[in-house]
């Protein structure tokens, strides 16, 4: 008995990073689709930051406890 083997190759595209240089204020939402989110400013309480990859914040990150 002969079995047929099917080989599937999945090609992943390189993820793009979204870099934000301005403060994210309360009520704002920032989303990085298919990549990382890098914020080089402060994030106020009430703001929402989302990413399909990693999130990096190099500034004050304020929120509720």
The predicted-structure confidence for 37-62, as pLDDT tens digits, reads as follows 999 999 999 999 999 999 999 999 99
- Altogether, the residues listed in the chain come to a count of 65
Residue given tokens 């500034």 in the structure block: 59
Handedness of CA 20, 21, 22, 26 (dihedral sign): positive
Q: Which residue has the higher pLDDT, 11 or 31?
A: 31
Calculate the average pLDDT of the chain.
Answer: 88
The share of the chain scoring above pLDDT 90, in percent, equals: 69
Please check the confidence at residue 64 and state whether its pLDDT lies above 80.
no
Please name which of 54, 52, 50 lies closest in space to residue 24, comparing C-alpha atoms: 50
Q: What is the pLDDT of residue 65?
A: 47
């Amino acid at each position: 008995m002969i079995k047929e083997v099917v080989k599937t190759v999945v090609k992943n595209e390189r993820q793009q990073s979204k870099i934000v240089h301005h403060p994210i204020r309360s009520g704002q939402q920032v989303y990085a689709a298919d990549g990382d989110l890098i914020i080089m400013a402060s994030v106020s309480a009430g703001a929402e930051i989302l990413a399909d990859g990693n999130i990096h914040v190099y500034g004050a990150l304020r929120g509720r406890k």
